[in-house]
Structures are given as structure tokens and as C-alpha cells.
Amino acid sequence: MKIFRRLFSNSSIHKKLIFFILIIIIETASVCLTTVFLSKIIVKDYDNILKEITILNGIKKKISDVKYLAEDYYMLENYSSKDLLIQLTDEINTDLKILPRYIYSDKGKILYTNVDKISKGYFKSLDILINSMNSSVKSDMYTEVLNVNNYLDRMVNLLIDYELESHSQVYEIVHNLNNNLINIMIVLLFMIFIINIYYAFSFSKDLYQPISKLVNSAKELSQGNFSSPDIEVARNDEIGYLIAIFNKMKNDIFEYIKTSEDRARIEALLKDAELRALQSQVNPHFLFNALSMVIESALLEQADETLGIVEEISYILRYSLTSFKKKVFINNEIEMMKNYISLQHKRYGDRIRIDVIIENDLPNIEVPSMIFQPIIENAVIHGLESKLEGGNINVYLCNMGNYILCRVNDNGVGISHERLIEVFSDDNISHVGHTTGIGINNVKSRLENFYRAAMESQKIDLLTISSEVGVGTSVKILLPIIYPWGESNV
């Protein structure tokens, strides 16, 4: 039964319908053939009985006719009866030869043997009567024919009685067989009805259950619930194919909606960042010209420290205004980070110490701009600035084979779990950086958008934060190594 169900579940609906129809045809044909076969047996038995009785009655009548014709031939000397006598004897002889195949009873067979022997002598006497020219011989043969005729008539009557008695038993058997046939037909029809009901129920259940799941899932889909689990149906027919297509369509729509929402959120972040950048520019040409004047003045006055500060500020301002929303090489990002760290050294001195370790074998891959500086600024402003004794920030960059790892650790005040959730919340657009207007959530969103393909294939977190209040914070950034010409190590 399990094998049958497995084969049945893997068949197409078209094959299932054909199989169901074939079952009905085979059942109907079986009942019809059984009925015909049993009916033929019954009809054959009835036919044999009727033929035997008909032959015996025919023999009896012909024997009686022979008696009258012999009398007419001998007593009235009606010689035209001669041909009729010859014809009747031939017919009786033929009937006696056919009769054995229809006799059932043992007594009937014994009587038939006696009738057959007597009839042979009877036919000889009758032949002598017809053909003899001697009147004395004719007289003797006539007397013998009459005597044998009467005896033969009694024997045939006795045979008919025995056969009727035996046939009554046969008739009872045939009658019971006929009644049994009716009962058998009723049982077979009932079994066919039960089997058809079972197959119809199984077939309808096999169709209804997956279609019902499909309808319920479609209702949820119409209500905007695209995150419902896929319909799980293990079948290879048309409904299985339809459900697989439906699942794919639902997931594609859900992915498209999710991508659209992410794109809209990122665009909102970018617009907000652009607005803040525009608000902070206050005519970049004017600022660059003013900084150039300060640099020239510092050169004339030989103020080397002031000159270095202004050049670093000028570099950071120019980089943040010209590189935002662009792909940059990681060496440019590292240079931007070093300029920012140099400014912080000049501002905080030994109170906040920033140590940078960069491995020499970093590939110069393309990365989103402004991803290192906001993390370090966040550690300075939110982690260490509020501590009177200051603290340390350790920046480490290394090649991990498939990724470039950037880790920023500080021993500042730390971040609570609730605050971390707020930082990474989709609604946390207001969290921005002090220098460039770019917050951590903005960095994370731009990383996810830039490396979307790598995230889908590897399911990795590009930016993660672990922190403990009063101990410090650790930020880890993973940058998949993807070269400008399209080759990837991921």
C-alpha cells in the first residue's frame, strides 16, 4: 500500500484520472463477465433439460405414430404408409443416438440402454413387416411390433419419469445457483461501490488538501503577509509544480519588497546625510579659499604646527565633500582615517591615545567611502571623551583571505544593550557623526548595500558591535575582497 501511495503521489493528475477510470472499467467489466459466465452455465443447464424432455416426448409421439401407421399398413393395406414408417424409424433412431448426451441420472442411463436394445429389435421386426411378402410372417411380425411398441412406449414413459425426477433436483440446483448469482452480484456491486468510494475519497483528498493550503496561503498573501512559511507538499504532479511556482513567486515578491524598503531606507539616509553635508558646507569654495589663505599665512609666519592642522582639516573636508556616495580605494580610506587620528592627537594629546596597526599585505580593493572615520569618531566622542582620565583606542586592519578585517577597540564607558538596539534600529536616522554627519547605522546600511551579493551568498554580518558598560566597546567590520575587474575571493 505504501508503494502504491508513493507511485500514486508521484503521478500526474492526468494519470491519476486515467487510473481511476480504468479501475471503474475493470470493476464493471469483471462484474459483467462474471454475470455472463454464470448466466451461460444456468442457461446451458436449462437448455439441456428442455432438449432432453423434448427429445423423449418426440420419441414417444413417434413410437405412437409408428403403431398407427403399422396398423394402417397391415390391417388396411395402405401401402402409402410404408414411406412414412421408414421415415419415422430413421428419426427415432437419430433421436436415440442424440439422447445420451442429455441424460443425467444413473437409472435413466440404464433405462436408455434397455430402450436402445429393444428399439434395434423393434426396427428389425418393423422392417420385416414392411418388406415381407409372406402373409403368415407379416401377421407374426405385426403382432410382435405391437407388443414391442407397447413395451417400448412404457419404457420411454418410465425414462421420462426418471429424468423429470432427476431434473427436478437439477432444477433446484440451478435455481439455487441463480439465487446465489443474485447474491454474488449484490456483494460484488457493494464491494465495487466501497472501492470506488475509497478511491474517490482518496483522489478528492489528494486534490483538496494541497489546493486548500494554496488558497489559505493566497489569502495571507492578499492581506500583505509575505513572510508566511512556504507550502510544503511532496508531490511531482501539476499541483506540486503550481505550489512550487507559487512559493517562488511569493518569495520573489517578498524579496523585492524587502529590497525596495531597504533601498528606500538607504536613500532616506543618503538624502539626510547629503542635506547635513550641504548644511555644513557653507560654500565649499569659500572655505577652501579661506583655508588656503590660512595655510599661506602659516607658511609666512613659519607656524609649522598650525600649517599641519589646517592641511589635515582641509584634506578631511575635501575628502568628505568629494568622496561621499562614491567607491574609493581602501588606501584612500586609510589615509583619511590617519588624518582624522592626527587631528585627535593634536586635540587630546596623551589623554586619548589612538594606536593603529595595519598589515602590509592589504589588497587595495574598492570600498564604500567614509567607513573607518565615523567608527573612530564614535569611540572618541561617546566612549572616551566623557572620561576624565581618557583612554585608549586600538585600530587593527588585516587580511583574512576572503575578507579584510577592521577592528576598533576602546576602553571607554561602553554601550548598554538597549542603546545598541536603538543604534541599529531602522528608525535611528537621527544618530549622526560630529565631523562628517555620518553615524554608525549609516555606515552599516551603506556596507550592506555595497556588498549585498556577498551577504546573500555567505549570510555574514558586515558590521557588529560588542560592548559592556564600564569596560569598553569593540567594533568589527568585514570587507569582502572584491577586485575592480570583478574577481572575488568570497
- Of residues 145 and 406, more confidence is placed in 406
Residue in the block written with cell 434397455: 114
- Of residues 4 and 82, more confidence is placed in 82
Question: If you ran DSSP here, which 8-state letter would residue 329 be given?
Answer: E
Q: What is the mean pLDDT of residues 444-458?
A: 79
Kindly report whether the global pTM for this prediction surpasses the value 0.75.
Answer: no
Model confidence at 446: pLDDT above 60: yes
- Of residues 307 and 149, more confidence is placed in 149
Note the pLDDT of residue 40.
Answer: 75
d(CA 70, CA 164): 30
Q: Which CATH number fits domain 330-490: 3.30.420.40, 3.30.565.10, 3.30.420.10, 3.40.50.970?
A: 3.30.565.10
Same fold flag, 2-214 and 330-490: no
Give long-range contacts, CB 8 A cutoff, 24+ apart: 141-150: 142/70, 142/74, 145/67, 145/70, 146/67, 146/70, 146/71, 148/118, 148/121, 148/122, 149/63, 149/66, 149/67, 149/70, 149/122, 150/67
**Nearby residues of 109 by Cβ (< 8 Å), 6 or more positions away:** 100, 103
Q: Does domain 2-214 sit in CATH 1.20.120.1730?
A: yes
- Residue 195's alpha-carbon distances to 6, 190, 203, in angstroms, are 19, 9, 12
Pairing of the two strands 391-399 and 403-410? antiparallel
233 CA to centre of own chain: 5
What is the band of 4 on the pLDDT scale with cuts at 50, 70, 90? very low
- Residue 15's alpha-carbon distances to 4, 87, 95, 242, in angstroms, are 14, 69, 60, 17
d(CA 166, CA 184): 27
Model confidence at 293: pLDDT above 60: no
What is the band of 344 on the pLDDT scale with cuts at 50, 70, 90? confident
Angle at 317 between CA 314 and CA 319, to 5 degrees: 105
- The residues spanned by each domain of the chain are 2-214, 330-490
Residue 64 burial (CB count, 10 A): 13
Side-chain half-sphere of 368: how many Cα atoms within 13 Å? 24
Residue 378 burial (CB count, 10 A): 25
Note the pLDDT of residue 355.
Answer: 93
Note the pLDDT of residue 430.
Answer: 46
Question: If you ran DSSP here, which 8-state letter would residue 391 be given?
Answer: E
Q: What is the mean pLDDT of residues 404-433?
A: 78
Q: Which tens digit of pLDDT belongs to each residue from 129-180?
A: 777 766 677 777 778 878 878 888 888 888 777 777 776 666 676 677 667 7
Note the pLDDT of residue 428.
Answer: 54
* Whether 51 contacts 102, CB under 8 Å: yes
d(CA 476, CA 127): 134
* Whether 138 contacts 132, CB under 8 Å: yes
d(CA 65, CA 258): 111
Q: What would the grid cell of residue 32 be? A: 459483467
Q: Which tens digit of pLDDT belongs to each residue from 361-377?
A: 889 888 988 889 889 99
Residue 291 burial (CB count, 10 A): 16
Share of the chain above pLDDT 90, in %: 9
